[in-house]
Amino acid sequence: MAKNFNAWPDQWPKSLNYPEQPVFSFLDHTAARVPNRLAIIFGGMELTYAELKDLSDRFANALISMGLKKGEKVAIHLPNCPQFAIAYYGALKAGAIFTPLSPLLAPKEATYQLNDSEAKILISLDLVYPGVCSIVPDTKLETVITTSIADCYNPVIQPLKPLEKIPVPDTIDMAPLLKEHQPEAPEIDIDVHNDLAHLAYTGGTTGLSKGVMLTHYNVVVNVCQYANWLAGSQIEIIDGVPTPVFPPGIDPIKDRLTARDQETALVVVPWFHAMGTVGYLNNLISSGTTMVVFPRFEPKEYLDAIPKYRATALGGAPQLYIPLVNHPDFDSYDLSGIKLAASGAAPLAKSVLDKMLGAFSGMVSEGYGLTECTMGATSCPPERAKIRPGSVGIPVFDTECKVVDLQTGEDLPSGEEGEICIKGPQVMQGYWNKPDETAEVLKEGWLYTGDIGKEDEDGYFYITDRKKDMIIYKGYNVYPRELEEVIFLHPAVEQCAVIGKPDMDVGEAPVAFVQLNQAAEATAEDLMEHTNSQVAAYKKIREVKFLDAIPVSPAGKVLKRELRDMLESE
């Protein structure tokens, strides 16, 4: 089935020329182009692009001086902070493979990931390292480097940022390392098509995490696909530097949604997640965006930052936008300067989308992807008129998506639901040391995602559920996402999730877990009447359970396995 270009943006190239350069070249090129432009704003600290490059070069040399060899793994166990970016680019410049280690992992999960990845060096934070220090002897780690957010604050700002640096025994302090080594970039030969840049672990929402192997080329391709999706430009290599080229008569600043070296983005998406590393670090670095970085999300602080820094771009999962639009002061903020609010990781409820469109003058863009395709595969065309509520957009450059029958694997026509499959140069090389699991999802160049969805007549895709989340009630297929959309329309609901409860009589019965808005009131009967009056009889919610907070992953995906565990424990 040929790719559907019905909704393709006018004057956008159908295919891109991808640079065959290592991932860290994004930072090097931007630092050469706009050395004095601010790259990172973090609390009281500011780093220009030239300074970020200098520090990453120093860190690369520090790693090499410790005996790190090309192809060895460096695990980064940090929240968003300047040291994460320094360590990430420094590790890649040293020829290492970056493996992100979420600070939210339990010790058992961290032990598994460190051992599975065979990481040699761990970079951690003084505040979170005590949670994993006991497992270090059980891993193959040879060196632990620690850093502190307090290192980012100078003495003058200390009264406003009362955070003390915590000594961490038996580890190496990152700050002296940076001072002791020179800022010359090491010369490491990188084979972009074969050398891995990332060993990124899946979210584990449905089971044990698997290491996803991504080459430098995989990452560079996916960054270029999304950076040029907004710009509508082609890439040409001029004097060794990837350069955006626009159609004749196009002013890249006036005629495009966002422009290179012009934007300021608020960054709270965790950099240890695929969406963060690719979409909210490399993508923004490549485009010379100033990043206002947050280590955690607090709605009021985030809203205050929009006018304070004159932010033009936001991004994250629905879990970011839901509390924003529900904040009591949301309507009092002037958010008209927001050119782009991007959403991914999970479908955005229409009620939330409508509130966002009412507040922002620019684009609200949903996209879709997964770690196995580096980060992303689809995005809404960058025109407000082309938004289709409920859709995650169309496949980006050089990417094909199709829908196949869950039982037969045959291609399905538009409008019919089945499993989403992806083909493109951003698709992973496979799972680390797991050939059987790799063969299950990579077939004849297609990545079988396990997500259920459909394509419309214009090539827009809609994700309706995870294949493993589908509920079978008396032989009927019930898609939880459809029920969740209805529940979200109730004014008292902030977040919700629907799963199937095993039932001997019907197979599985739909059960809703609900998190109410602050100060809102609703009974289980209220929500069941609201939902069940709008769906077919076999789809009706049979039970409602209230939670203080719906469990979500760092990427904002609802952890339905935890909800199933709650039901099983009952």
H/E/C letters for each residue in 402-458? EEECCCCCCECCCCCCEEEEEECCCCCCEECCCHHHHHHHEECCEEEEEEEEEECCC
- Per-residue pLDDT of 306-317, as tens digits, reads 999 999 999 988
At residue 53, the 3 state secondary structure works out as helix
Please tell me which of 56-70, 141-155, 164-178 the model is most confident about, judged by mean pLDDT. Answer: 56-70
Third-level CATH fold of 215-465: Rossmann fold (3.40.50)
Whether the pLDDT of residue 447 is over 80: the answer is: yes
Whether the pLDDT of residue 176 is over 90: the answer is: yes
| Structure token pair of residue 542 | 């049979």
Q: Is 296 exposed, middle or buried (0-12, 13-18, 19+ CB in 10 A)?
A: exposed
Residue 155: what pLDDT?
A: 74
Whether the pLDDT of residue 502 is over 90: the answer is: no
CA angle 207, 270, 156 (to 5 degrees): 145
Query: Under 8 Å CB-to-CB from 110, ≥6 apart: which residues?
Result: 77, 101, 132, 135
Among 75, 496, 119, residue whose Cα is nearest residue 318? 496
Residue 203: what pLDDT?
A: 58
Q: What is the pTM of this model?
A: 0.86
pLDDT band at 205 (very low <50, low <70, confident <90, very high): very low
Q: β-strands 196-201, 172-173: how paired?
A: unpaired
Whether the pLDDT of residue 206 is over 60: the answer is: no
Within 13 A of 289's CA, how many CA atoms are on the CB side?
A: 27
Distance CA 21, CA 27 (A): 12
Among 273, 255, 250, 276, residue whose Cα is nearest residue 265? 276
Residue 291: what pLDDT?
A: 98
288-312 mean pLDDT: 95
Residue 202: what pLDDT?
A: 84
- What CATH number matches the domain at 470-569, 3.40.109.10, 3.40.470.10, 3.30.300.30, 1.25.40.20? 3.30.300.30
Residue 208: what pLDDT?
A: 67
Percent over 70 (pLDDT), the chain: 97
pLDDT band at 347 (very low <50, low <70, confident <90, very high): confident
In the predicted model, what is the mean pLDDT of the chain? 92
- Per-residue pLDDT of 89-116, as tens digits, reads 999 999 999 999 989 888 888 999 999 9
Phi (first) and psi of residue 239, to 5 degrees: 55, 40
Whether the pLDDT of residue 180 is over 90: the answer is: yes
pLDDT band at 157 (very low <50, low <70, confident <90, very high): confident
| Structure token pair of residue 532 | 């069940």
Whether the pLDDT of residue 295 is over 70: the answer is: yes
Phi (first) and psi of residue 398, to 5 degrees: 55, 25
Whether the pLDDT of residue 479 is over 90: the answer is: no
Distance CA 36, CA 32 (A): 9
375-382 mean pLDDT: 96
| Structure token pair of residue 89 | 């680019």
478-499 mean pLDDT: 89
CA angle 42, 29, 150 (to 5 degrees): 20
Within 13 A of 202's CA, how many CA atoms are on the CB side?
A: 21
Q: Which residue has the higher pLDDT, 346 or 153?
A: 153
- Per-residue pLDDT of 109-137, as tens digits, reads 899 999 999 999 999 999 999 999 999 99
Residue 261: what pLDDT?
A: 97
pLDDT band at 323 (very low <50, low <70, confident <90, very high): confident
Q: Which residue has the higher pLDDT, 529 or 156?
A: 529
Are the C-beta atoms of 317 and 555 separated by less than 8 Å?
A: yes
Distance CA 423, CA 448 (A): 9
Third-level CATH fold of 25-189: Rossmann fold (3.40.50)
Q: Which residue has the higher pLDDT, 176 or 503?
A: 176
218-246 mean pLDDT: 96
138-143 mean pLDDT: 96
Please tell me which of 196-205, 509-518, 551-560 the model is most confident about, judged by mean pLDDT. Answer: 509-518
- Range in 216-230, 423-437, 547-561 the model is least confident about: 547-561
Residue 335: what pLDDT?
A: 92
Distance CA 562, CA 42 (A): 33
Q: How many CB atoms lie within 10 A of CB 25?
A: 21
310-325 mean pLDDT: 90
Q: What are the sequence ranges of the domains in the chain?
A: 25-189, 215-465, 470-569
Residue 475: what pLDDT?
A: 66
Amino acid at 17: N
Residue 552: what pLDDT?
A: 84
Q: Is 9 exposed, middle or buried (0-12, 13-18, 19+ CB in 10 A)?
A: middle
DSSP state of 4: -
Distance CA 152, CA 126 (A): 13
415-434 mean pLDDT: 96
| Whether the domain at 25-189 and the domain at 215-465 fall into the same CATH topology | yes
Distance CA 215, CA 23 (A): 9
Distance CA 52, CA 67 (A): 23
